[in-house]
Each structure stands twice: as structure tokens, then as C-alpha cells.
């Protein structure tokens, strides 16, 4: 029996007495640690903790939610009654979509696999490592700033429902990266970082895999080169995306438009709606035959990897796009029921105070063959881009412009000159339709981000995008950013 089983039983009983047809409650015990160094100093060292619970109640097919961090019996009763009252008021809305009543009982425990508990690595050892990394970024006098950071989070959840579910989960996540800023002769500062999406499920071993100590000197050197490099000239050329650029491209032009609440028109905040609709599944071409994307919230190392999502749905691997054809969307119980499409266990909340909603979770681009080096070797003319500075996309997730940190010219299969401030632009189905090479497992990485915004009030989601590298034909590059 979990720590909060008795409190949860009271909450659920109070919700039923208040008139709920169904209710569930999830307790969250959250801890987040952040350590950040810059120019030889520790600038931030924080260790924050939070404990609270969120109650969902269902009345006549309408949901109500109430979050609280107050733990008295009276507060438990108040939270249950408030969630039920909110649900009852929603049931009076004309023309509303009726929610699905969860059924069945799940009793389970799950924990993120990890190798090194961060608690066994002292704060002093962590800081010393980051300070050494940051120091090694200063490879020249014109490196004016450098930083390194690491972060850890542990969330313990207990979920209980009026149907008898009791699910305990411990979710561990970690991440780290570093970077340098150099100023050139024209006084234009340029920043180069290691992959800034290197966040994964696990313990301190994630920091070891980030390999900052080995990557830092080259990262600093490229910042220095960028400081005096020319801007990428405009043109149309073949474009090779590194895994960290490709992961963000997946996020913006595949992940968000495939959130099923957006495709249904239920959600438009932050990222707009979607250019595809549920009725498009099974026949609309999203990209080339090399484009196979699947959702998998049981994926090793994923930030959205769980035993069960925040409405007690067990993850499974679901194809979203197969050989370029749209197949499914990221869904909740209710959105899946409205469309007849598969459930993907993609309902997540930011914390105990936030209502669970459909989120980008773990999505992966199926690898094919070859490496970044071999794809470059077979490219007659083009550019390779890496790192990310800026990104923009319209509210239907169609027209986009991305600004990587660095571009390497490719001529007759060899890398050449470095350019700063590269940009590329495209239209989602045309761009993915131009993809003619996808790398294999050698360059395949699992990259996550912890700041995906959605909803009002805003929630930050933890998402993962697993991919290798890819080449796209005849892409417009060098679009002016200062017009």
C-alpha cells in the first residue's frame, strides 16, 4: 500500500458522495536539482521539492479538476467536492463532447531504470566537473563567455481511482550540456553548444553519456571559427540535418500537429492547430517513403517513458506515420474515443496542480542505414547543419523557418567551409517529402526537451525525439533573419 493510499481513499469517497460518477487522484512528490556554472563561477545551485495532489472527477460525461498541496482531511474533502462541482458545471454546457468513463482496475508499480543514483554524487563533485568543462571551453581570448549545466529530477507518483486502480511510479530524469560564446572582428557574438536537448530518463549516467568533458574543447573551437565566419548565402541546396536539429524539426512539424486535441480543433494555444485532421489517417501523405514515425512511451531513456500515463493508460508502440502515410495521432482516452484512433498513453500533466492533457511524448524516426559521414560522402553539393538558435512555424504547423548554430559546406562528398547564422525554410509535407536519406543506428540518439509549452495556464511538457540524421533535397537556405 502506498504512502497516500489512505488519503486517496478519503478523497475518492468524498468525490462519490458529492455526486461524481468516477474519480481519480494522483499524489506527486517532486524533487528538482539544477547546477549551472558560467565563466568560472557557480551561478545557480538549486534543490526544490514539492508535494501535492490532483483530483479528477467525472459527472455526466464532464470532467472537473482540482489541485491542492493542503493535506488535512478537511482539505481532502474540499478538493474532492471542488473537482466534482467543476465537473457538474461543465455538464450543463450545451453541445459538449462527452468524456469516456474509465473502466477496469490496474494495480502496478514502475520505476525508471537507472545505473547511478545522483544522490551518490556530491554537489562538490558535480560542481568541480562542470567548472572543468566550462574552463576547457575557453580555447581563445575571444571566447567571452562559457557555461555548463546539469539537472536532475525525481517524481514519485501514486494514482488511485474509484474503479480500484492503485499505481505507484518513480520517474527519474537527467540532462546536461555546455556552450561557449565568442566575439569576432565584426563584434558579432556567436554561440556554439553541445546538443542542448540531451535530456534522458535515468540517473547520473545520463551526464556521463552527454560527454561534455570530451566535447567542450571542440565546441569552444567552433565558437571561435563562427565568430569570424561568413553568413550562409541564400540559395537552394541539399540539406543534411544532424540528429539534434532533426529532433527539433520532428517536434515542431510532426509532434505538435499530431497532438489529437489540436487536430480536432479543441486546442489552439501556443502551437496553433494542425494542417491534418483525424479523417486524414490512412491516406494523407506526410512525407517520403523513408518517413516512419512511431509513438512509444515505453521507450528506453525517453522523458515521457512511464509505466502508465496520467490517466492510467499503459504505453504501447503506435505507428503515427508509416512509409510517409499518416496513420495515427498522439491521443488521450477521450480524443481516441472521438475518432476511433489508437490510444498512445500521451496524457500528461506538468505537476500536481495541472490538469492532464494530450502532449507530445516519445516519438521516434525509424532509422535506415548509413552514417552522417557516409551521407556526406555521397552528397555532391549541400550543407550540414548542427545546433539550434531559433525556430518559427505558423499556427497550422506548415510554413517554418529554422536557424541552426552552424553550417558546414559540402562539395563533392567532403566538408569544407563553415558558415554562421544558417537558416532554412520549408513547408511541412513538401519538406518531409524531400527526405531521401535517413541514417542508421550508429548516429541514432534519444534527445529530450523539458520546456515544451502548451495550454492556458501554460504547462511545460517533457518530450523525447529519437532519430539519426537525414538528408533533404533542394531546400531553400540562407533566408535573411534581419529583414
In the prediction, which pLDDT does 38 show?
A: 98
Torsion angle defined by CA atoms of residues 312, 317, 322 and 323, in that order, rounded to the nearest 10 degrees? 150
435 vs 116: CA distance, rounded Å: 39
Strand segments, DSSP code E, in 112-246 are 143-161, 166-183, 189-193, 199-201, 235-241
Percent of the chain with pLDDT over 90: 94
Q: Grid coordinates 548554430 are at which residue?
A: 405
19 vs 80: CA distance, rounded Å: 10
Cis peptide before 457 (omega within 30 of 0): yes
Enumerate helices (H) and strands (E) in the chain, giving the number of each: 10, 25
Encode pLDDT of 97-132 as tens digits.
999 999 999 999 999 999 999 999 999 999 999 999
Burial class (CB in 10 A: 0-12, 13-18, 19+), 46: exposed
Strand segments, DSSP code E, in 228-280 are 235-241
Pick the CATH number of 5-227 from 3.30.230.10, 1.10.150.20, 3.30.2290.10, 3.40.50.300: 3.30.2290.10
Q: In the predicted model, what is the mean pLDDT of the chain?
A: 96
Residues of the chain below pLDDT 70: 481-483
Encode pLDDT of 147-190 as tens digits.
999 999 999 999 999 999 999 999 999 999 999 999 999 999 99
Strand segments, DSSP code E, in 69-141 are 107-111
In the prediction, which pLDDT does 482 show?
A: 52
In the prediction, which pLDDT does 483 show?
A: 44
In the prediction, which pLDDT does 70 show?
A: 97
Closest CA to 174 of 219, 112, 130, 128: 112
Q: Where are the domains of the chain?
A: 5-227, 235-477
Alpha-carbon distances, residue 298 vs 14, 105, 261, 335 (angstroms):
34, 20, 22, 21
Helix (H, G, I), strand (E, B) or coil at 343: coil
In the prediction, which pLDDT does 95 show?
A: 86
Contact present, 462 and 299 (Cβ < 8 Å): no
In the prediction, which pLDDT does 214 show?
A: 97
In the prediction, which pLDDT does 481 show?
A: 53
CA-CA-CA-CA torsion sign (296, 107, 336, 162): negative
18 vs 385: CA distance, rounded Å: 58
Closest CA to 186 of 421, 460, 456: 421
CB half-sphere exposure, 61, CA atoms < 13 A: 12
Helix (H) or strand (E) holding 453: strand 445-454
Amino acid at each position: 500500500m502506498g504512502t497516500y493510499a489512505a488519503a486517496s481513499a478519503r478523497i475518492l469517497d468524498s468525490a462519490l458522495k458529492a455526486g461524481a460518477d468516477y474519480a481519480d487522484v494522483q499524489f506527486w512528490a517532486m524533487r528538482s536539482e539544477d547546477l549551472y556554472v558560467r565563466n568560472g563561477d557557480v551561478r545557480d545551485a538549486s534543490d526544490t521539492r514539492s508535494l501535492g495532489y490532483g483530483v479528477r472527477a467525472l459527472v455526466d460525461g464532464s470532467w472537473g479538476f482540482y489541485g491542492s498541496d493542503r493535506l488535512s482531511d478537511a482539505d481532502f474533502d474540499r478538493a474532492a467536492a471542488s473537482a466534482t462541482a467543476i465537473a457538474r458545471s461543465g455538464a450543463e454546457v450545451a453541445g459538449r463532447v462527452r468524456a469516456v468513463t474509465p473502466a477496469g482496475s490496474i494495480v502496478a508499480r514502475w520505476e525508471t531504470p537507472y545505473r547511478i543514483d545522483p544522490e551518490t554524487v556530491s554537489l562538490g563533485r558535480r560542481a568541480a566537473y562542470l567548472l572543468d568543462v566550462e574552463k576547457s571551453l575557453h580555447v581563445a581570448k575571444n571566447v567571452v563567455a562559457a557555461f555548463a549545466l546539469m539537472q536532475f529530477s525525481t517524481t514519485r507518483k501514486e494514482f488511485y481511482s474509484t474503479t480500484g486502480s492503485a499505481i505507484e511510479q518513480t520517474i527519474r530524469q537527467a540532462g546536461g550540456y555546455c556552450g561557449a560564446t565568442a566575439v569576432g572582428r565584426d563584434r558579432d557574438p556567436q554561440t556554439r553548444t553541445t546538443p542542448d536537448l540531451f535530456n534522458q530518463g535515468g540517473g547520473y549516467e545520463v551526464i556521463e553519456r552527454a560527454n561534455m568533458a570530451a566535447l567542450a574543447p571542440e565546441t569552444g573551437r567552433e565558437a571561435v571559427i563562427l565568430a569570424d565566419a561568413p553568413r550562409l548565402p541564400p540559395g537552394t541546396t541539399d540539406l543534411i540535418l544532424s540528429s539534434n536539429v532533426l529532433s527539433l524539426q520532428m517536434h515542431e512539424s510532426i509532434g505538435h500537429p499530431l497532438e489529437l486535441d489540436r487536430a480536432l480543433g479543441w486546442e489552439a494555444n501556443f502551437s496553433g492547430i494542425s494542417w491534418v485532421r483525424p479523417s486524414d489517417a490512412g491516406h494523407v501523405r506526410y512525407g517520403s517513403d523513408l518517413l516512419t514515425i512511431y509513438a512509444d512511451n515505453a521507450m528506453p531513456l525517453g522523458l515521457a517513458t512511464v509505466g502508465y500515463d496520467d490517466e492510467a493508460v499503459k504505453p504501447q508502440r503506435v505507428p503515427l506515420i508509416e512509409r510517409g502515410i499518416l496513420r495515427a495521432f498522439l491521443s488521450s482516452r477521450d480524443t481516441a474515443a472521438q475518432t476511433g484512433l489508437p490510444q498512445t498513453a500521451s496524457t500528461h500533466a506538468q505537476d500536481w496542480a495541472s490538469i492532464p492533457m494530450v502532449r507530445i511524448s516519445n516519438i521516434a524516426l525509424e532509422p535506415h542505414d548509413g552514417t552522417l559521414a557516409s551521407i556526406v560522402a555521397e552528397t555532391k553539393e549541400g550543407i550540414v547543419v548542427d545546433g539550434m538558435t531559433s525556430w518559427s512555424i505558423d499556427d497550422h504547423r506548415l510554413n517554418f523557418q529554422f536557424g541552426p548554430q552552424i553550417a558546414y559546406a559540402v562539395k563533392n562528398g567532403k566538408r569544407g567551409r563553415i558558415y554562421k547564422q544558417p537558416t532554412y525554410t520549408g513547408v511541412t509535407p513538401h519538406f518531409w517529402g524531400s527526405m531521401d536519406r535517413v541514417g542508421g543506428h550508429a548516429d541514432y540518439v534519444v534527445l529530450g526537451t523539458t520546456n515544451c509549452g502548451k495550454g492556458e495556464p501554460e504547462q511545460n511538457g517533457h518530450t523525447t525525439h529519437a532519430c539519426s540524421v537525414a538528408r533533404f533535397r533542394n531546400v531553400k537556405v540562407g533566408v535573411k533573419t534581419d529583414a
